[in-house]
Copies of this chain bind each other. A is one copy, B any other.
Amino acid sequence: MTYCLAIKVNGGLVFASDSRTNAGVDYISTYSKMHVFGTPGERLIVLITSGNLATSQAVVNAIQRDLDDPSAPQNLNTFHYLFDAAHYVGHLSQRMQAEHGPVLKENGVSVEASFILGGQIRGRDPNIYMIYPQGNYITASPETPYLQIGETKYGKPILDRIVRPDTSIEDAARCALVSIDSTMRANISVGPPVELAIYPHDKLSLDQRLRFDYNTPFFSNLQKSWNKGLRRAFDELPRFDWEPPGA
């Protein structure tokens, strides 16, 4: 499994992903699930992936081949709208799944993959899209300013409580890290390193791409601080009426 998410706030976009992949419990490995494309000053596109690793890699390879091939009818640098890029990735995903799906299905393995694609094309607003395994896609909304793929449930409550469109981009990034930390604690199929990309509105390039292991000081301090803060919040909850007030 995997856990990846993207957040869209007024100040820009945040992308975060874990790096664990597994085929059963006896083949666990580490792969980056965050891929960055674009031309500085013109467009920035981040793609994060979840699901079958071969499908995800094949899609990323096909994207790169189209970018390298001057005769390709379209590539991530030719689209005028981000949703066209999402459509293109959904189409590639369907193509890869169609090729290997039937054989894998016979072996009881899912060929499905999900993607989050986001970024900004010059002259347009930044946005994020989640691309389903079936190739269709949705965007975020002011009421739900985030998208998740993979093992999404453990890390959802904190996003619902904290993230609003006017949340600062750094707070959105911290919230993404807390959301991934909670998920890693609850589910062994989600693991470090955690990758984080912070894209400020209209920047058109990616300045902040960070990578955290458990022992990276910033991430380790964030985990300790969150644990301590949660513990204090818990200790300050109201007492039942039969408990002594100072209990």
Contact = CB atoms under 8 A, between A and B. Distances in A.
Interface of A: 153-158, 160-162, 168, 170-171, 173-175, 178, 182-183, 185-186, 208, 218, 221-222, 225-234, 236-243, 247
A222 B238 CA distance: 6
Contact of A239 (B160, B161, B170): B170
Given A218-B238, A226-B237, A157 B170 contact: no
Nearest to A240: B170
Contacts of A233: 225-226, 228-230, 232-233
12 contacts: A154-B157, A160-B185, A161-B185, A162-B234, A170-B243, A175-B234, A218-B240, A225-B233, A226-B233, A229-B229, A229-B232, A233-B233
Q: How many copies of the shown chain assemble into the complex?
A: 2
Give the most central of A222, A232, A237: most B CB within 10 Å.
A237
Nearest to A157: B182
A173 B157 CA distance: 19
